[in-house]
């Protein structure tokens, strides 16, 4: 009986990791045609670009809380975007540092009387500022209510039909807005479009823009380059042809304002507001039988500050896991809904089983196989097979993502960079991924024990900002 149970558990863990990595391989394969089409479109960009006059105006929302070290660089980069018509709305969410003072000083802000139309409820707005130097820049000063509340305040102030949300510690490339808006021009049913997030640590930023892509010296930030590459370029891009993207990063996404307002804006009772909004959008629009598209575009790039200390990274991943749980549980009606389509019948079950409950199975699998090998009830052959499917396939996925990135975007031109990232692709799956899984499991334990969700203190090095 015991031998049968041991054999059954070995098969269970092997099948789980085969299924997990099998889906990732499928997503990589689905991403390749999207990538090829993107590269074909890019080949035409050597021709002189002339605005066709059809680009919809965009309101860029940048919620800021204690961002005094990066906010000026972020706003400068936004002011130099290549796009015909847009406005910038920085929302100071009751910051306790000098965020507001920096904005007032750097951009000549004056308080102005302005009608504030409440479309979604928020904490009180104290003042609205207008830049004397830059007519398309406004700053909203409000009582602290969290990122969701700040974004809702920005939506209330937004004048244009599309809004783009970014993090206040992020840097956009000059053509990023033009690229991320393209799906709205290609398909009128598009309600959301998101772009790629890359790690800014180690890069050179001048005048609010990236001048050289580099690698960070800190190993944690270095590993996150490969992690982000796999997750964004060949994870979310793979879900795009299925119209089953369940998350558009809160660091860089464009939304149809009318649709977001209709479904109630961002929820303030979750710390995973970005994913929750997307899953809720899938659920409500599919229940209504309304045609829509949620797109991910690999080319528009947003550079962001990655954590370089274990405590901050741990807080971030626990928060992400709890946000994932909120997003799925609050919108569980999408699961296997008769109108759920690929989001409800494929993407949601995958996220539920492999991403939400996965840490429990993965940690149990590693512990069982390690203890079994030590005490002799797991054979070396079974242990080797486990390593192949749990670690070997992960290394294959990371290295293949790096190869595809090098062939397509060639963001890191130096051979030394590529060799370093190739080594990191192995390290990520041997040590880093297991550590992240343990932190995700911690998030699950907090959920099960009903501990209060908190953001935790997010320490940012902003080393790239030293060149400003």
- Cα–Cα distance, 35 to 106 (Å, whole number): 40
The one-character DSSP state at 108 is T
pLDDT at residue 46 greater than cutoff 60: no
In a domain, 178, yes or no: yes
- Which pLDDT band, with edges at 50, 70 and 90, does 404 fall under? confident
- Helix residue spans in 302-392 (DSSP H): 310-330, 341-342, 348-350, 358-375, 380-387
> pLDDT of 86-122, one tens digit each?
999 999 999 999 999 999 999 999 998 877 788 999 9
Residue 373: pLDDT over 50: yes
Higher pLDDT, 88 or 233: 88
Gyration radius of the chain over CA positions: 22
Give the pLDDT confidence score for residue 45 in this predicted structure: 59
H or E stretch covering 42: helix 2-42
- Predicted TM-score (pTM) of the model is 0.92
pLDDT at 461: 57
pLDDT at 51 over 50: no
pLDDT reading at 226 higher than 70: yes
pLDDT score of 286 more than 70 = yes
Q: Is residue 221 in some structural domain?
A: yes
Mean pLDDT of the chain: 89
* Bigger pLDDT: 6 vs 220: 220
In this structure, the chain runs to a length of 468
> Tokens standing for 353?
């089983």
Least reliable range by pLDDT among 21-35, 146-160, 421-435: 21-35
- Print burial letters for 182-194: b (CB count within 10 Å at least 16), e (below 16): bbbeeeeebbbbb
- Is the pLDDT at 153 greater than 70? The verdict is yes
Structure tokens at 228: 């982000």
**Sorting pLDDT into bands at 50, 70 and 90, what band is 50?**
very low
Write out the residue range of the structural domain in which residue 185 sits.
54-309
Position 31 pLDDT exceeds 50: yes
pLDDT at res. 408: 76
For residues 56 and 245, give the distance between their C-alpha atoms in angstroms, rounded to a whole number. 23
Residue 324 lies in a domain: no
Average pLDDT over residues 159-167: 94
- Average the pLDDT over 200-215 and give the result: 82
| Exposed/middle/buried for residue 135 (C-beta within 10 Å: 0-12, 13-18, 19+) | exposed
Does residue 375 lie in a domain region?
no
Task: Tally Cβ neighbours within 10 Å of residue 234.
Answer: 27
For 63-79, write each residue's pLDDT tens digit: 999 988 888 888 988 99
**Of residues 322 and 45, more confidently modeled:** 322
Q: What is the pLDDT confidence band of residue 468, given thresholds at 50, 70 and 90?
A: very low
HEC letters along 173-191:
CCCHHHHHHHHHHHCCCEE
Q: Please indicate whether residue 196 or residue 360 has the higher confidence score (pLDDT).
A: 360
Assess whether pLDDT exceeds 90 at residue 359. Answer: yes
Decide if 79 is inside a domain: yes
Task: Tell me the pLDDT band of 457, cut-offs 50, 70 and 90.
Answer: low
Let me know if residue 396 belongs to a domain.
Answer: no
Residue 228 has pLDDT above 70, yes or no: yes
Buried b (16+ CB within 10 A) or exposed e, 397-406: bbbbbbebbb
Cβ 266 vs Cβ 153: under 8 Å: no
> Residue 304 sits in a domain of what CATH number?
3.90.550.10
% of the chain residues with pLDDT over 90: 63
Q: How many domains does the chain have?
A: 1
Per-residue pLDDT at 338? 96
Cα separation values, 431 from 32, 128, 150, 181, 218, Å: 28, 48, 37, 38, 15
Q: Specify if 106 maps to a domain.
A: yes
Give the pLDDT confidence score for residue 53 in this predicted structure. 61
Residue 69, in any domain of the structure: yes
pLDDT average, residue stretch 138-149: 94
How confident is the model over 327-354, as pLDDT tens digits?
A: 999 999 999 999 999 999 999 999 999 9
């Amino acid at each position: 009986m015991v031998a049968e149970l041991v054999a059954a558990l070995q098969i269970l863990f092997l099948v789980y990791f085969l299924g997990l990595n099998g889906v990732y391989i499928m997503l990589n394969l689905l991403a390749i045609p999207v990538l090829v089409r993107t590269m074909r479109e890019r080949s035409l960009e050597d021709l002189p670009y002339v605005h066709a006059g059809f680009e919809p105006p965009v309101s860029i929302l940048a919620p800021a809380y204690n961002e005094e070290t990066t906010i000026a660089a972020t706003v400068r980069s936004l002011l130099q975007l290549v796009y015909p018509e847009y406005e910038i709305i920085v929302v100071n969410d009751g910051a306790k540092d000098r965020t507001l003072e920096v904005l007032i000083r750097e951009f000549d802000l004056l308080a102005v009387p302005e009608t504030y139309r409440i479309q979604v409820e928020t904490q009180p707005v104290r003042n609205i500022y207008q830049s004397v130097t830059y007519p398309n820049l406004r700053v909203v000063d409000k009582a602290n209510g969290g990122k969701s509340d700040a974004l809702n305040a920005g939506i209330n102030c937004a004048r244009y039909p599309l809004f783009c949300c970014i993090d206040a510690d992020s840097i956009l490339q000059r053509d990023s807005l033009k690229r991320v808006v393209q799906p709205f021009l290609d398909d009128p049913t598009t309600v959301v479009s998101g772009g790629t997030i890359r790690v800014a640590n180690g890069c050179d930023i001048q005048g609010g823009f990236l001048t050289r892509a580099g690698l960070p010296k800190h190993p944690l930030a270095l590993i996150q380059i490969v992690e982000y590459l796999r997750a964004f370029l060949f994870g979310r891009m793979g879900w795009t042809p299925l119209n089953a993207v369940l998350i558009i990063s809160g660091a860089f996404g464009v939304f149809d304002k009318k649709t977001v307002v209709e479904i109630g804006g961002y929820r303030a009772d979750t710390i995973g507001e970005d994913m929750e909004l997307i899953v809720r959008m899938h659920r409500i629009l599919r229940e209504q039988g309304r045609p829509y598209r949620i797109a991910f575009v690999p080319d528009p790039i947003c550079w962001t500050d990655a954590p370089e200390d274990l405590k901050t990274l741990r807080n971030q991943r626990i928060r992400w896991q709890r946000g994932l749980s909120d997003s799925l549980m609050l919108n569980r009606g999408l699961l296997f809904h008769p109108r759920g389509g690929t989001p409800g019948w494929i993407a949601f079950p995958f996220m539920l089983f492999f991403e939400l409950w996965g840490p429990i199975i993965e940690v149990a699998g590693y512990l069982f196989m390690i203890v079994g090998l030590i005490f002799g009830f797991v054979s070396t052959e079974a242990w080797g097979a486990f390593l192949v499917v749990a670690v070997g396939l992960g290394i294959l996925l990371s290295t293949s993502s790096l190869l595809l990135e090098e062939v397509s975007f060639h963001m890191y031109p130096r051979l030394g960079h590529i060799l370093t990232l190739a080594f990191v692709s192995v390290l990520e799956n041997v040590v880093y991924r297991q550590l992240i899984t343990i932190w995700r499991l911690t998030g699950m334990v907090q959920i099960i024990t009903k501990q209060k969700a908190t953001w935790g203190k997010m320490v940012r090095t902003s080393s790239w900002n030293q060149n400003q």
